[in-house]
Chain A
């Protein structure tokens, strides 16, 4: 097993035992990317020299000392590009500061390494909306890696780097994790600071880890979680040690299967895998109960009002004045804005900005945005009521395994509908994790475990039991 393909926890042991050095790991990551990433396309850029020099100064007394972590290219790392996979920012932006999650990774001794590909501004679920390059699914050749954190998932699955950070607005960590066969965690809203994450849907976005193992997921969450005065939505809540109690097992846990998630829209094989995983947890001592999340069928419609509305507002900052590429020789201010935005944004981003502007526009606000906010309340209540009965909820991550490349291009609604199982957690703010199950015809598939608000410990423990049982 190469160093780049090893879990963080085992690299940590070898580092502390002085069997290897941080430079060995970083050099192997560089070698793996240089020799194999042409075929995968996970990384948009990386800076070998600064990473090697950080490796030479690694402080092994820290919990993540000397471990390289790949970073989705919408999270600011001082001195590095942050393109959001957009032509708007490519070659035109160098991050002047560290996102809080990055500052915390560094404080824990980790080395932020390289920039991973994504759907432009994190809008999409296939990484095919990247304005820069295509990413292939290393675990299912010819298929999409999922998205929007497709580069982060492919980098781990392709054994290019031990772990990465992604961001999740409607499933953008969990769905690519499922499609590529890695572990992906979306923390509860407010658990991890959003400062320095380029904003897409500010009431939905969270940063989280993509890793080989559940333990690594807990290790990274330990480092990045916590209150931040620079993000007023970050929580004033103590951060527990998420690795503690991981192996406690699920005996006595009550796990819910929401009946609305097992309908005609899901492939029979995916359904079979999820039900088998539930059986397995039952045999480990968990109690499985059927539950109801009655507003599930409205989640996609609610999300595709709220997320584009927030995006249309957030992306107004890309105006050709403050940063990014500006159109040449604009006639006046208006043409500077309009021409710069026409040239800089790709089709999906334009579509969502226009949709968001439309639902917020005069005469439509009450019918769309306000109504969606009310349905959001109902969706949140569904979860609150469900978590009075169960400790965690088991669901599929996506209705099918990874589709073939280009399968849904030109039909955005088809893409949006496939987000059905992941977006509710963003609307309600609770946490969720995708953990790999036995592949279907060689293609990865994940189980989603949804937890109550700040229930990260419960879902990690449950995910660990799934991992141990596979």
Chain B
């Protein structure tokens, strides 16, 4: 694996987090350290090994398609920063 070089500002934008210049500098050093350490996995022979997304093997567990009562919307709306008429309100997304 190549020497890690992390463009922290680019990655933070992907993660939708603003960072100050000071944070970019600090995280760059720390993340280079951490990524340098995790490069260690390059040593392991993983040829032919199946990846595990989960500790136990399971897939597509479904329950019966029977309606059960849902939690009332009010409980969730009370936690939204801004709502009206039972909808979440956000700044305009598409210009007319």
Given A94-B78, A94-B79, A429–B11 Cβ distance below 8 Å? no
Q: How far, in whole Å, are A400 and B81 apart by their CA atoms in the complex? A: 44
Q: How far, in whole Å, are A233 and B23 apart by their CA atoms in the complex? A: 37
**Chain B positions 40-80 with a Cβ under 8 Å from a chain A Cβ:** 40-44, 46, 49-56, 58, 61, 63, 71-72, 74-76, 78-80
Docked-complex contact A326 and B51, CB < 8 angstroms: no
Q: How many residues of A contact B (CB 8 A)?
A: 75
Tell me the nearest residue of chain A to B2, going by C-beta.
Answer: A367
Q: How far is the CB of B35 from chain A (nearest CB, A)?
A: 7
Docked-complex contact B49 and A378, CB < 8 angstroms: yes
Docked-complex contact A373 and B53, CB < 8 angstroms: yes
Residues of chain A within 8 A of B74, CB atoms compared: 96
B14 within 8 A of A: yes
A50 within 8 A of B: no
Docked-complex contact A321 and B53, CB < 8 angstroms: no
A232 within 8 A of B: yes
Tell me the nearest residue of chain B to A339, going by C-beta.
Answer: B18
Given A354-B12, A413-B30, A93–B17 Cβ distance below 8 Å? no
Q: How far, in whole Å, are A457 and B72 apart by their CA atoms in the complex? A: 39
Docked-complex contact A336 and B51, CB < 8 angstroms: no
Docked-complex contact A97 and B75, CB < 8 angstroms: yes
Which among A96, A301, A338, A427 is the interface contact of B18 at CB below 8 angstroms?
Answer: A338
B34 within 8 A of A: yes
Given A233-B54, A301-B41, A341-B18, A413–B82 Cβ distance below 8 Å? no
A372 within 8 A of B: yes
Q: How far is the CB of A97 from chain B (nearest CB, A)?
A: 5
Tell me the nearest residue of chain B to A430, going by C-beta.
Answer: B55
Q: How far, in whole Å, are A325 and B56 apart by their CA atoms in the complex? A: 36
Q: How far is the CB of B32 from chain A (nearest CB, A)?
A: 10
Q: How far, in whole Å, are A301 and B38 apart by their CA atoms in the complex? A: 5
Given A338-B16, A361-B14, A377-B52, A321–B91 Cβ distance below 8 Å? no
Q: How far is the CB of A386 from chain B (nearest CB, A)?
A: 15
B93 within 8 A of A: yes
Binds B, one of A23-31, A122-130, A260-268, A345-353: A345-353
Q: How far, in whole Å, are A319 and B33 apart by their CA atoms in the complex? A: 28
Residues of chain B within 8 A of A331, CB atoms compared: 91
Which among A232, A302, A341, A359 is the interface contact of B17 at CB below 8 angstroms?
Answer: A341
A32 within 8 A of B: no
Tell me the nearest residue of chain B to A360, going by C-beta.
Answer: B14
Residues of chain A within 8 A of B81, CB atoms compared: 92, 320-321, 323-326
Q: How far, in whole Å, are A345 and B12 apart by their CA atoms in the complex? A: 13
- Other contacts beyond A203-B53, A429-B54: 13, CB < 8 A: A233-B54, A297-B40, A298-B40, A298-B44, A301-B40, A316-B16, A321-B90, A323-B81, A332-B91, A367-B42, A371-B46, A373-B52, A374-B51
In the A-B complex, the 8 residue pairs with the smallest Cβ-Cβ separation, listed nearest first, are A429-B55, A96-B75, A373-B51, A326-B81, A342-B18, A374-B46, A323-B79, A357-B15
